Structures are given as C-alpha cells and as structure tokens.
C-alpha cells in the first residue's frame, strides 16, 4: 500500500528500487496538536507502522506523530523507513512492502526438485536423482531473506555399476580324430539402472563359435556404463578330448598313429621290423568308451626258407628286411672262431634288436657246413655266398652286410659285441631305427 503524498512541500516519490528519499526539515506553524486525526490513518500492507504521537496514548495520526515502518517476514521495505505527520496534513513520505523472491532454480541433469512455496522466502526445494544416480551436494536449498538460495546446486552422479550376467559354463567333447571343439554361446545379458542401452561390452578370451583346444578356458566379459562404472562376469569352457590308454609298440615293431595317437577316433597301425612278421590285426581304433578296438598283434621272426638252391634266392629273403653277419672259419677248433662264437652268443639279443641274422660257414669240403641257427644250407648256396662275397676258407673272417646286401665291413680277428653294436648303430641304422632301439634297449638286460 502507498502512503500519503506531500503536495507542494518539496518532497518527491521514490524513483528506484530501495531508494530512500532524504528527510526534509519543514517549518511547522503553531497548529492544533490536539486534533486526533490530523493526517489520514497510516497503514502498510504486508507490514507494520509503529507510531509515537506527541500527545501520547493511542493517537496515531495527530500533527507531529512519527511512525517507524517495517515489513513482514518475506517482504522488503521500499520507500521511507520513518514518516511524520506534517502541517499540510500529509505524511512526509511513502513506502510499500514488496515480496522477496529468489530466482527460479535451474534444472539439474539426471534429477528433479520440488519446492514447498515456489520461489518465496522460506520455500524449501528438495532434490532427488533419477534411479541409479547418487546425489552429491546439498539435498535441500531454502530461499533466504536476501533473495538468494542457501547452499549450492547439487549434481546427480551415476555411481551404480551396471549388471551383467554371463552364460553358464559348458563342457564340450572333441569330435572323433579332433583335438579341438567348436564352442558357441549367447552374448551376456547386460542392463543398467541409469542407461537404457549399454554398448561398451568387452570380451577377454576367444570369440564364440571358434575352436577351443583341450583344457579349461576362462571367458571374461566387462561392461562400462556412460559414467565408466564397470561390471564383470566370467564362465568356463572346458574341452574334453576322450583318450584311450597309450598303446605300446610291439617288440620288434613300431606304431604309426593318426591325430594325437590316443585320442577318440585315432587310428594306430602296427608295423614289424625287418625280419619280423605281424600276427594279428593291423589297425586299432580309440573308441568313445576310452578302449581300443581289437587285440594287440605281435611281431614274430620271419620264416627263413633254407631249402633254396642258390645264394641269390637266400639273400633275396633278407633284402630290405635284415642285416647279415657271415662268419667263416676253416675249422670249428679255430681259436678265433671259438672266441668270436662266445661273444656272438652273448650278443644274440642285441643283434636281434639291430635286425642282424648270423650265417655260419664252417669247415672245409667235403665236410663244410653252412647254417642259420639249427637250419642247414645247401652246398651250392655255401659256394655261391663265398664266391659272391669273396669269403676265403683259409682263415677266420666275418663279413657284415647291410639290408641291401652290400658289404659294409670285414673282420679277420674277433671283435667285441660293443664294437659291433657301435658300427651298426652309427653307420647302418637310420634315425627312426635308433629311436626304436633306444625305447627297447632294456629288453636285453
């Protein structure tokens, strides 16, 4: 409400916000101070006027009455804070109470607020954040009498990690003849309380649908929301290769196997060394129940036909199969022969592992004898061997032939089994034969 104005007294109205009109000293003639209503009754909307009259008591508008003006809580006084009833029957100034208002609060990202009284004094605004977000800062702000809000603007921060659920762990069995298995799975389920869609999902490990080797594989997934909160999960892929017990190579033979030798579906083929023949099945297969098909074959000494009439027919039986050691002596009583015979008997197992057959040519015609162990050779075969290999009857000698019938070494004095083994191992055997010999070296112990 606007107070009374001074007319022609030199006073002026308020011209701007909170501008206070300076007091002016007036000349007051001797008037009737006893008139109780010299000026109009002063009232201030949304405020209060506290007056003091010269006459005291309840006189609030007599000449000379001075009033102090104040506003209610939440309002600001605009105009004179103190007025006086003047001789011209007017109050010395004007004032009114304007409601104090704070500025409208801005919206916050990922949150809202609600206020009790809008933007007026004592209005309280409470902030809340969207699901999945945490309020950082002042949760409540109040409009103060100075027209400003208490506290500072809060923020809504996403601190809740996303949720991720990996597919279940799984076991796969490799297919027959395979050492790997193809494993697939659905992508993990991801969601977040704040973000509608999550695209930053990272895989650590092999891709689904790829081939996995035998063993346990840990597959890990990570997911990040827009605030870079992280969640992780993992599951296990186990690839099983069903295996049969490892097969042992037959004595005087060896194995060749497909795949990894003893995995499900592997096929193993049995082979015999030169001079030996296989008896039994040729191949065995590792089955799903972890057992081998069939029964293991054996390698037995080949049958040597000594009833042939020529040396060539005899030698052909050993071609690419056995080595030959031909021992010749003019007399069974020969000291070199006796000594060598003892050593050859002790070396029999080792020579057999090295695929060596011993042929003996003993004595002189007409009592000359040729034999392989206890089987005797025809005299024409004996003569053919001596002529083809130039073996003399006059003295003790030994001739070592390789698997192709080629003369590789001659001895005119006895030799030890170790020297004989070393010669064969070093110069007559291939690498594969040496490896098989190494595996079977304890056989003769």
* C-alpha torsion angle, residues 174, 175, 177, 182 (rounded to 10): -60
Which pLDDT value is given to residue 30? Answer: 57
Q: Which residue has the tokens 């089955």?
A: 287
- Per the CB < 8 A criterion, the answer to whether 249 and 439 are in contact is yes
Q: Render pLDDT for 68-102 as a digit per residue (tens, 0 to 9).
A: 999 999 999 999 999 999 989 999 999 999 999 99
CA 313 to chain CA centroid, Å, is 68
- Per the CB < 8 A criterion, the answer to whether 129 and 110 are in contact is yes
Which pLDDT value is given to residue 56? Answer: 77
Question: What is the average pLDDT score of the chain?
Answer: 89
Beta-strand relationship, 230-240 and 170-173: parallel
The order of strands in the sheet holding 215-224 is 170-173, 230-240, 215-224, 200-204
For residues 127-154, give the mean pLDDT.
93
Give the Cα separation of 128 and 117 in Å (integer). Answer: 17
Give the Cα separation of 116 and 123 in Å (integer). Answer: 5
Which pLDDT value is given to residue 4? Answer: 39
For residues 232-254, give the mean pLDDT.
94
Topology of domain 1-99 in CATH is Complement Module; domain 1 (2.10.70)
Which pLDDT value is given to residue 17? Answer: 40
What is the distance in angstroms between the CA of the first residue and the CA of the last residue of the chain? Answer: 129
CATH of region 311-429, choose from 1.20.870.10, 3.40.718.10, 3.40.30.10, 3.40.50.2300 = 3.40.30.10
Residue 14 pLDDT grade (very low, low, confident, very high; cuts 50, 70, 90): very low
Topology of domain 163-240 in CATH is Immunoglobulin-like (2.60.40)
**Phi-psi sector, 164: left (phi>0), alpha (psi -120 to 50), beta:** beta
Q: Render pLDDT for 321-364 as a digit per residue (tens, 0 to 9).
A: 999 999 999 999 999 999 999 999 999 999 999 999 999 999 99
- Per the CB < 8 A criterion, the answer to whether 377 and 317 are in contact is no
CB atoms within 10 A of CB 289: 8
Which pLDDT value is given to residue 360? Answer: 98
Instruction: Give the angle subtended at the CA of 165 by the CAs of 205 and 111, to the nearest 5°.
Output: 120
Per this entry, what is the length of the chain?
445
Give the Cα separation of 142 and 352 in Å (integer). Answer: 107
256: tokens are 């060749």
111-157 belongs to CATH 2.10.70.10: yes
Residues of the chain with CATH 2.10.70.10: 1-99, 111-157, 253-301
Residues of the chain with CATH 2.60.40.10: 163-240
Which pLDDT value is given to residue 23? Answer: 56
Residue 21 pLDDT grade (very low, low, confident, very high; cuts 50, 70, 90): very low
- Per the CB < 8 A criterion, the answer to whether 319 and 304 are in contact is no
Which pLDDT value is given to residue 10? Answer: 37
Residue 198 pLDDT grade (very low, low, confident, very high; cuts 50, 70, 90): confident
Asked if the model's pLDDT at residue 391 lies above 80, the reply is: yes
Asked if residue 366 has a cis previous peptide bond (ω within 30° of 0), the answer is yes
Residue 12 pLDDT grade (very low, low, confident, very high; cuts 50, 70, 90): very low
Give the Cα separation of 6 and 10 in Å (integer). Answer: 8
Q: Render pLDDT for 268-326 as a digit per residue (tens, 0 to 9).
A: 999 998 888 999 999 999 999 999 999 999 999 889 999 999 999 999 999 999 999 99
Distances (CA, A) of 360 to 156, 311, 390: 104, 14, 15
Give the Cα separation of 247 and 179 in Å (integer). Answer: 18
Residue 218 pLDDT grade (very low, low, confident, very high; cuts 50, 70, 90): very high
- Per the CB < 8 A criterion, the answer to whether 39 and 90 are in contact is yes
Per cent of the chain over pLDDT 90 is: 75
For residues 120-139, give the mean pLDDT.
92
Give the Cα separation of 400 and 394 in Å (integer). Answer: 19
CATH class for domain 253-301?
A: mainly beta
- Per the CB < 8 A criterion, the answer to whether 123 and 117 are in contact is yes
Which pLDDT value is given to residue 22? Answer: 52
pTM above 0.85, yes or no: no
Residues of the chain with CATH 3.40.30.10: 311-429
Which pLDDT value is given to residue 9? Answer: 37
DSSP label of 317: T
For residues 369-375, give the mean pLDDT.
95
Give the Cα separation of 381 and 388 in Å (integer). Answer: 10
Q: Which of 284, 250, 258, 186 is nearest to 436 (CA)?
A: 250
């Amino acid at each position: 409400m606007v107070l009374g104005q001074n007319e022609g007294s030199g006073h002026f109205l308020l011209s701007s916000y909170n501008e206070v009109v300076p007091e002016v000293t007036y000349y007051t003639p001797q008037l009737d101070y006893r008139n109780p209503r010299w000026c109009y009754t002063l009232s201030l909307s949304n405020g209060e006027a506290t007056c003091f009259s010269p006459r005291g008591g309840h006189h609030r508008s007599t000449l000379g009455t001075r009033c102090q003006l104040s506003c209610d809580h939440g309002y600001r006084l605009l105009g004179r804070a103190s007025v006086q009833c003047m001789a011209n029957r007017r109050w010395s100034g004007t004032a009114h109470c304007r409601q104090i208002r704070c500025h409208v609060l801005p919206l916050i990202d990922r949150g809202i607020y609600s206020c009790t009284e809008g933007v007026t004094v004592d209005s309280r605004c409470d902030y809340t954040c969207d699901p999945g977000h945490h309020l950082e800062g002042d949760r409540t702000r109040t409009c103060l009498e100075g027209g400003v809000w208490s506290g500072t603007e809060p923020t809504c921060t996403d601190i809740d990690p996303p949720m991720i659920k990996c597919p279940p762990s799984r076991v796969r069995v490799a297919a027959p003849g395979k050492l790997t298995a193809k494993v697939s799975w659905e992508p993990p389920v991801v969601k977040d309380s704040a973000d509608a869609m999550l695209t930053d999902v990272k895989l650590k490990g092999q891709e689904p649908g790829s081939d996995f080797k035998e063993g346990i594989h840990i597959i890990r997934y990570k997911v990040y929301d827009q605030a870079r909160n992280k969640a992780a999960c993992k599951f296990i892929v186990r690839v099983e290769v069903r295996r049969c017990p490892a097969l042992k190579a037959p004595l005087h033979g060896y194995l060749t196997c497909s795949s990894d030798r003893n995995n499900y579906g592997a096929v193993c083929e049995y082979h015999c060394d030169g001079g030996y023949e296989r008896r039994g099945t040729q191949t065995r297969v590792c089955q799903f129940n972890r057992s081998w098909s069939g029964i293991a074959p054996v390698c037995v000494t080949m049958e040597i036909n000594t009833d042939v009439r020529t040396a060539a027919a005899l030698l052909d039986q050993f071609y690419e199969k056995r080595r030959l050691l031909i021992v010749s002596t003019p007399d069974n009583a020969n000291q070199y022969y006796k000594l060598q015979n003892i050593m050859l008997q002790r070396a029999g197992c080792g020579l057999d592992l090295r695929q060596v057959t011993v042929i003996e040519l003993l004595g002189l015609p007409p009592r000359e004898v040729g034999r392989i162990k206890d089987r005797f050779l025809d005299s024409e075969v004996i003569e053919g061997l001596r002529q083809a290999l130039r073996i003399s009857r006059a003295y003790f000698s030994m001739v070592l032939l390789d698997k192709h019938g080629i003369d590789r070494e001659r001895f005119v004095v006895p030799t030890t089994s170790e020297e004989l083994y070393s010669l064969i191992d070093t110069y007559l055997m291939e690498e594969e034969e040496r490896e098989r010999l190494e595996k079977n070296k304890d056989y003769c112990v």
